Amino acid sequence: MENFLYIAIAIAIAIVISIARIRLLVFIKWACVKLRLCTPEQENVDPPPPPPDQTIGPKWNSSKPRLFSLGKVGGKPSPRLSPQVLDSLAHSMGYFDDSQGRKRLDINNTIKASVQKGIPELIYYPDKQLRTVLVLEDAFAKPLRWNPIASELAKGLKQRGISVLYGKFYGSLNQFSTPQNQLYHLKDLEWEAHSYFLLIFSDGKILNYHRDSSTLKALSNWPKVAWMELREPRSWDESAALPSHFGLPIYPATSEGLLQVIGGFLNEDETRPEDFKHRAINARGIPPRLGRNLNTYVEELLGDAFRWAQCCALLQPVSLGLADALRRKFCSKLPAARIERLFILPNTTETVNGLYFSKPVLAVLRAAFQRRFSESEQEQVLRFILEKLKEVEPTDEESLAHLAWEWRWQQIKLELNPDDALQQLEELAETPLGDAIRAELQNISLPPKNGLITPNPEQIPLRLRPKTEIALQQLQHLTGRNLLEESEQPLPVIILPKRRWKTFRDKLKDGGKGPEMVWIPAGRFRMGDIQGGGRDNEQPVHDIYVGSFAMGRYPVTFAEYDRFAKATGREIPDDEGWGRDNRPVIIVSWYDAIAYTEWLTQQTGKHYRLPTEAEWEYAARARTETKYWWGDDIGTNRANCSGSGSRFSGKKTAPVGSFKPNPFGLYDTVGNVWEWTCSEYEEKYRGKETECISKNNAKNNKKTKLVFRGGSFHKNERQWRKIDSRLTYRGKTEPYKVFQNLGFRIVRVYTEKTEN
């Protein structure tokens, strides 16, 4: 036993001595290094590998700019309303003759008038009768892109203490929404119409005689109302005549027009609308194209803006800010409203960076610039443009080197898998290169002083050092250039628009997130049975302009609806035993769908609703004109509908997103479940397809039927005979009914505030 004890003590002593020696050696090495008597040994350790999902490459300063945006060249366009005009409008806005009020004698003016006339002349102060200025803007009006006078007026008057109610109407004058997403109905304001000064800014294109006649009649009874036409008087047509037919005075939406309106209201002696309309219609209008010489046609179309357009043609695309700067510099007497004439040039296209003139028009304008501007004038214009370019051009070598490296990496990816090049370019919108692509560097060009050139990707007007020019030259890579270069023909699929496939989810008050939404760009489309062979109620085929809005990427699911039902104590719908969660909600009435959108609006502070019938078809078509968004043939396994060959067809609903999306990024627009809209059904299109019926109107009229669209998984059996999933097919039923193949999809109303 004692031996074991001695052995244990010996081992312990040995361990203590070893630890002491190690610590002593470590201390000696540390002291040696500290006293610089020796150098530390370098450990031969391999560096850790990079994370598998991270690209190996140089590190860059993320705060550096990486693009050259032509959209910022020239700054912002000058406002349509000067401070002086706004001051004048605000000063007189609240003053109106009030015969019922108590008159106050203006002593100074009474004395002056009596002396001048030789007899007593009593002059009274005008009584101040405060009124709210109601500014309504047509959200679908094309001229809003170049004439923002309505929003400027509302903002300017508010800043000057005037009570203003500003809103936009979407296809129908009956209702409008404010930037705060408050919904108003004009009928609710009629009883106090005397308290409002109503200005309606529109181009009249959305007006329909049968649909809007009663509304226009009611508006003509407002004591202070004016229709402000957003187009130049020479562009007015039959659509501008409709308001005047019902007695609404029409004025151009310019500062002069507004002053004329206010002056007329103050004096109670405004110009009769027929008189102004007569002068406008008989003025020199837009010349017809017919088969005329393009040079002559362009010059007559532009009129006094021809010289200005020649300057704008030197840089393509020309931003609205630069165009306005050129006007102020070289055509100072030209009204800002002439910008409309640049937009209506043949085949002019608008991008995020500015206006592109078509190549034939560009050649006409540049040739005229060479002939009609002296050499010194040409030099001044070119120098002015280059100075504006220099204000925004990137001169930082590190930024351009970063752009060149990242661009080259994407080129390699495109070369390795060219079949998916288009999809890869779509995905680039989410990277720093997305901004560079949208900046369209490859389309910048300036003509040399001694001749004309066509738009050329190699001519980039940036004065950069040779090292940094390499970054821009990389943008000429053939693969990317062929897919992204400008085309004068409209493309069926838009590549990299401003909000292409951009999705978002609004936050709920309880901390959760709302349904996934997709921004839908504004545009015009032909609505109805274009191919023929459909039902009578799919006629007539007609043009519809739809403004920007957001739509649910999928139909509303059980998971999303159940959350609402539990939060509000609403009955949870049956799922027929097919499953809940990610499947589209079914067995919900139109009133259930409306209640969900109202709850979502309250939860997010954003304006949610059901889509109008026109919005639904526009988004489902995604700028196609075939029976289905992929073509005229139903194909195989493209959707959950009759005849598609899907394993769900004729049996049950499929989980949302089980099939490919359309070009706008929307899933299940064909088949799976029918989808409620907010539009009232009528046998033929007469205008209700662009508006929502209110919940109260639907309840009060028991004969009301609502439209549903999109098709479903059901077979074409007796109950659903003759029903198919063509994009133009229109279903109808009462708002209180529910079905096992009927659900809904939501939209969020677009406003400038929500976009920003």
Take residue 247 and report the two structure tokens written for it: 């007695």
Q: Which residues does 125 contact at the CB level (< 8 Å), separation at least 6?
A: 103, 104, 105, 106
Give the 3-state secondary structure of 64-86.
Answer: CCCCCCHHHCCCCCCCCCCHHHH
Does 403 lie in the same domain as 384?
A: no
443 shares a domain with 402: yes
- Both 701 and 669 in one domain: the answer is yes
Q: Note whether residue 111 is domain-resident.
A: no
* pLDDT above 50: residue 52: no
Does 560 share its domain with 704? yes
Q: How far is Cα 427 from Cα 436, in angstroms, rounded to an integer? A: 13
- For residue 533, name the pLDDT band (cuts at 50, 70, 90): confident
3-state secondary structure at position 542: strand
- Tell me, what amino acid is at 732? K
Cα(686)–Cα(537) distance, integer angstroms: 11
The pTM is what? 0.47
Closest CA to 93 of 196, 228, 221: 196
Tokens at 366, concatenated: 């540049």
Backbone angles phi, psi at 591, to 5 degrees: -65, -35
Q: Is the peptide bond before 540 cis (omega within 30 degrees of 0)?
A: yes
The pLDDT value given to residue 572: 93
Record the tokens describing residue 706, joined without a space: 């609502």
Averaged pLDDT for residues 656-669: 90
Structure tokens at 410: 């994407």
Distance CA 447, CA 454 (A): 8
Read off the CATH number of the domain in which 646 is found: 3.90.1580.10
From the DSSP assignment, how many helices (H) and strands (E) are in the chain? 25, 22
The tokens describing 455, both together, are 């738009």
Say whether pLDDT at 95 is over 50.
yes
Q: How confident is the model at residue 569 (pLDDT cuts 50, 70, 90)?
A: very high
Q: Which residue has the tokens 């004016």?
A: 226
Judge contact between 188 and 218, C-beta under 8 A.
no
Of 453, 484, 515, which residue is a domain's last? Answer: 484
> pLDDT tens across 202-225, in order?
988 888 777 788 888 889 888 889
CA gyration radius, the chain:
34
Q: For the chain, give percent helix, strand, coil, nearest 5.
A: 40, 15, 45
Q: Is residue 155 a part of any domain in this protein?
A: yes
pLDDT confidence band for 69 (50 / 70 / 90): low
Q: Tens digit of pLDDT for each residue in 598-624?
A: 999 999 999 999 999 999 999 999 888
Return phi, psi of residue 749, to 5°: -65, 135
CA-to-CA dists, residue 528 to 198, 271, 535, 749, angstroms = 35, 41, 10, 23
Encode pLDDT of 714-739 as tens digits.
765 434 334 567 888 899 999 999 99
Residue 220 lies in a domain: yes
Query: How distant is the alpha carbon of residue 507 from its chain centre?
Result: 21
| Torsional sign, CA 575, 580, 583, 587 | positive
d(CA 11, CA 590): 87
- Provide the angle, in degrees to the nearest 10, between the axes of the packed helices 397-416 and 466-473: 30
- Residues 371, 474 within the same domain: no
User: Is 453 found in the same domain as 336?
Assistant: no
Amino acid at 40: P
Amino acid code (one letter) for 239: S
For residues 591 and 143, the model is more confident at 591
Report the pLDDT value the prediction gives residue 402, as an integer from 0 to 100: 58
Residues 6+ apart with CB under 8 A from 624: 492, 630, 662, 663
Q: Is residue 524 part of a domain?
A: yes
How far is the C-alpha of 275 from the C-alpha of 269, rounded, in Å?
13
- H-helix or E-strand containing 593? helix 590-604
Find the mean pLDDT for residues 472-485.
Answer: 34
* pLDDT tens digits, one per residue of 1-26: 555 565 566 666 666 565 555 565 55
| 435 φ/ψ angles, rounded to the nearest 5 degrees | -65, -40
Cα separation, 657 vs 28, whole angstroms:
68
Identify whether 12 is part of a domain: no
Quick check: 693 and 603 in contact, CB under 8 A? no
Structural domains of the chain, count? 4
What would the pLDDT profile of 442-477 be if each residue is shown by its tens digit?
333 333 333 333 233 233 333 333 333 333 333 333
For the cut 60, the answer to whether the pLDDT of residue 46 exceeds it is no
Q: Is the pLDDT of residue 64 over 80?
A: no
Same domain, 384 and 473: no
pLDDT of residue 464: 32
Mean pLDDT estimate for the chain: 75
| Residue 42 within a domain | no
pLDDT in tens, 278-306: 444 334 455 555 455 788 888 888 999 99
Q: Which two tokens stand for residue 65?
A: 């700019």
Is 494 inside any structural domain?
no
| pLDDT for 677 | 97
* 536/644 same-domain check: yes
Contact yes or no for 588/742 (Cβ under 8 A): yes
Cβ-Cβ contacts under 8 Å for 353 (sequence gap 6 or more): 69, 70, 71, 317, 319, 438, 439, 440
- CA pair distance 224, 338, nearest whole angstrom: 29
Tell me: pLDDT of 662 over 80.
yes
**Relative orientation angle of helices 83-93 and 255-267, to the nearest 10 degrees:** 20
Residue 338 and residue 471 in one domain: no
- What is the per-residue DSSP string for 183-194? EEEHHHHGGGGG
pLDDT tier at 92, thresholds 50, 70, 90? confident
Strand spans (E) along 13-142: 104-105, 124-125, 132-138
Question: What 3-state class would DSSP assign to 103?
Answer: coil
Backbone angles phi, psi at 196, to 5 degrees: -120, 150
Q: What is the mean pLDDT of residues 44-50?
A: 43
CB of 362 within 8 A of CB of 455? Answer: yes
Q: Which residues lie across from 225 on neighbouring strands?
A: 198
What is d(CA 557, CA 243) in angstroms, rounded to the nearest whole number?
A: 44
CB count, 10 Å around CB of 492? 11
Q: What is the pLDDT confidence band of residue 97, given thresholds at 50, 70 and 90? A: very low
Half-sphere exposure of 482 (CA within 13 A, CB side): 7
3-state secondary structure of 331: coil
Which of 360, 390, 420 is at the close of a domain? Answer: 390
According to the model, what pLDDT value does residue 30 have?
Answer: 60
- In a shared domain, residues 515 and 608: yes
Which of 454, 484, 514 represents a domain boundary (last residue)?
484
Residue 532 lies in a domain: yes
- Rounded to an integer, what distance in angstroms lies between the CA atom of residue 749 and that of residue 211? 22
The Cα 339–Cα 234 span in angstroms is 14
pLDDT at 612: 96
Expressed as residue numbers, the domain containing 428 is 397-484
Same domain, 716 and 679: yes
Shared domain check, 702 and 590: yes
Structure tokens at 72: 């910022």
CATH code at 237? 3.40.50
Higher pLDDT pick, 8 / 42: 8
